C-alpha cells in the first residue's frame, strides 16, 4: 500500500518528505506549494492554501472541478468562495479543448459552477461546463472524449456513439430509464431499438475500456498487455515495470490526469499506474 500525502491526500510515488515519528508523508511539490498562488482556473484572485477544517459558514468545501469533498487542504478564494482540491489544482481541467470529432470549434472551460444540460449526453448537472459561444453549445468535460465504438458487458454487439438518437428508442439497455431522442447515446446497429445512455455506460464499468473505432469488427482483438497477477499487467508502452490497477478514486480525482500512452485525460475510467515511476495508463 502506498502512503498518502498529508496535503493533497493522493498516493506518493518516488521521493517524499516524511515524519518518521508520526508516519506522515508529503510530496515534494506539495511541501513547496506557496500559501498564495495564481491559478489559471481562477484568474481574478490568488488562491490560498487552507485547511478544510478552518473553512467556516458557507465556505465551499467541495472541489469545483471534481465535485469531491477535500478532507485536509483546499485552495480557496475567500472573495468569490471558489475552492479547488489540490489534486485538481495540480491536474486542472484545460481552459481550451480542441477535439473536432466532438465539436468543430474550440471549447472553452466556463470556470464557474452552473446548472446546465449537456448538449451531448442530455444529462443535467451543476458543474463547470465547456462552451462554444458561437453555437450556444454546452458540454460536460467528461463528454468531450467519449469513445466512438465500444463493447459493453451486457450486449453481444458493438455499440456506436450516435450524436442525436432520434425516434424508436424507449428505454436504456443499461439503466432502463428513458432515453432522449434529441441527445446522444450508444446504439446497436444490429438490434433495432437497443441503445444506452452515454455517461452511465462509460462511468460504471459497463464498458470494457477499449475504443474499437479503428478495429474492424471481424478481427479478433489482441490485448496490448500481459496479465501478470491480480490487477497487475505489463503494457507494451511501458515494458520495464508492472502496472497496477488503481481502484481508488477512479470517479473523481483522476479526471484530468493525462494518460501517458494516448495523451488524453483518463476521465472516469479505471487507470493502471506504475508504482515505480507514476506512469499512468487507461
Ligand atoms: Zn501531495
Ligand atoms: Zn477536484
Ligand atoms: Zn476569487
Ligand atoms: Zn454530457
Ligand atoms: Zn461551435
Ligand atoms: Zn441508461
Ligand atoms: Zn445488438
Ligand atoms: Zn515505470
Distance (Å) of CA 230 to CA 14, 61, 226, 234? 23, 36, 12, 12
**Interface ipTM:** 0.74
Residue 247 and residue 265 in contact, taking contact as beta carbons nearer than 8 Å:
no
> Cα of 275 to ligand 4 centre, how many Å?
32
Residue 12 and residue 5 in contact, taking contact as beta carbons nearer than 8 Å:
yes
Name the pLDDT band for 47 (thresholds 50, 70, 90): very high
Whether the per-residue pLDDT at 115 is higher than 70: the answer is yes
Whole-number mean pLDDT of the chain? 88
Mean pLDDT calculated for residue range 198-227:
80
Bridge partners for 161 per DSSP: 186
> Cα of 253 to ligand 8 centre, how many Å?
21
Return the pLDDT at 222. Answer: 65
Looking at the CA of 143, which ligand is closest? 4
> Cα of 202 to ligand 5 centre, how many Å?
25
Looking at the CA of 194, which ligand is closest? 7
Residue 92 and residue 100 in contact, taking contact as beta carbons nearer than 8 Å:
no
Selected residue with higher pLDDT from 247 and 208: 208
Name the pLDDT band for 215 (thresholds 50, 70, 90): confident
Looking at the CA of 131, which ligand is closest? 5
Looking at the CA of 154, which ligand is closest? 7
Q: What percentage of the chain has pLDDT greater than the value 70? A: 94
Whether the per-residue pLDDT at 182 is higher than 60: the answer is yes
> Cα of 1 to ligand 7 centre, how many Å?
42
C-alpha grid cell, residue 175: 439503466
- Could you give the CA distance from residue 148 to residue 82 in angstroms, rounded to a whole number? 35
Residue 146, helix vs strand vs coil = coil
> Cα of 16 to ligand 5 centre, how many Å?
44
Q: What is the Cα 150 distance to its own chain's centre? A: 18
Least Cα distance to 7 among 51, 48, 42 occurs for 51
Looking at the CA of 184, which ligand is closest? 4
C-alpha grid cell, residue 27: 510530496
For the chain, the helix, strand and coil percentages under 3-state DSSP, each to the nearest 5: 10, 35, 60
pLDDT per residue as tens digits for the range 250-275: 545 567 778 887 777 777 777 888 87
Name the pLDDT band for 34 (thresholds 50, 70, 90): confident
Whether the per-residue pLDDT at 5 is higher than 80: the answer is yes
Least confident range of 48-57, 65-74, 150-159, 208-217 = 208-217
The structural domains of the chain, with segments of one domain joined by +, span 16-90, 96-143, 146-221, 225-281
> Cα of 235 to ligand 8 centre, how many Å?
10
Residue 233 and residue 272 in contact, taking contact as beta carbons nearer than 8 Å:
yes
- Could you give the CA distance from residue 42 to residue 281 in angstroms, rounded to a whole number? 29
Residue 125 and residue 138 in contact, taking contact as beta carbons nearer than 8 Å:
no
Amino acid at each position: 500500500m502506498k502512503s498518502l500525502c498529508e496535503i493533497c491526500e493522493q498516493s506518493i510515488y518516488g521521493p517524499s518528505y516524511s515524519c518518521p515519528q508520526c508516519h506522515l508523508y508529503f510530496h515534494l511539490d506539495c511541501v513547496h506549494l506557496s500559501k498564495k498562488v495564481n491559478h489559471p482556473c481562477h484568474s481574478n484572485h490568488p488562491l490560498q492554501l487552507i485547511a478544510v477544517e478552518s473553512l467556516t459558514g458557507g465556505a465551499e468545501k467541495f472541489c469545483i472541478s471534481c465535485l469531491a469533498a477535500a478532507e485536509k487542504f483546499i485552495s480557496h478564494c475567500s472573495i468569490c468562495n471558489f475552492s479547488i482540491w489540490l489534486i485538481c489544482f495540480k491536474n486542472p481541467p484545460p481552459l481550451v479543448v480542441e477535439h473536432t470529432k466532438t465539436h468543430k470549434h474550440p471549447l472553452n472551460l466556463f470556470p464557474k459552477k452552473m446548472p446546465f444540460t449537456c448538449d451531448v449526453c442530455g444529462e443535467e448537472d451543476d458543474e463547470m461546463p465547456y462552451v462554444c459561444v458561437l453555437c450556444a453549445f454546452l458540454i460536460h468535460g467528461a463528454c468531450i472524449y467519449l469513445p466512438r465504438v465500444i463493447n459493453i458487458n451486457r450486449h453481444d454487439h458493438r455499440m456506436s456513439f450516435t450524436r442525436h438518437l432520434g425516434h424508436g428508442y424507449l428505454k436504456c439497455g443499461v439503466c432502463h430509464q428513458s432515453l432522449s431522442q434529441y441527445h446522444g447515446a450508444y446504439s446497436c446497429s444490429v438490434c433495432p431499438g437497443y441503445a444506452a445512455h452515454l455517461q452511465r455506460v462509460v462511468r460504471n464499468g459497463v464498458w470494457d475500456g477499449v475504443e474499437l473505432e479503428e478495429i474492424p469488427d471481424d478481427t479478433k482483438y489482441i490485448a496490448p498487455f500481459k496479465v501478470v497477477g491480480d490487477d497487475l499487467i505489463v503494457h507494451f508502452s511501458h515494458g520495464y515495470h508492472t502496472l497496477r490497477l488503481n481502484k481508488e478514486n477512479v470517479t473523481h480525482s483522476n479526471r484530468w490526469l493525462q494518460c501517458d500512452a494516448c495523451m488524453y485525460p483518463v476521465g472516469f475510467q479505471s487507470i493502471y499506474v506504475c508504482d515505480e515511476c507514476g506512469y499512468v495508463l487507461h
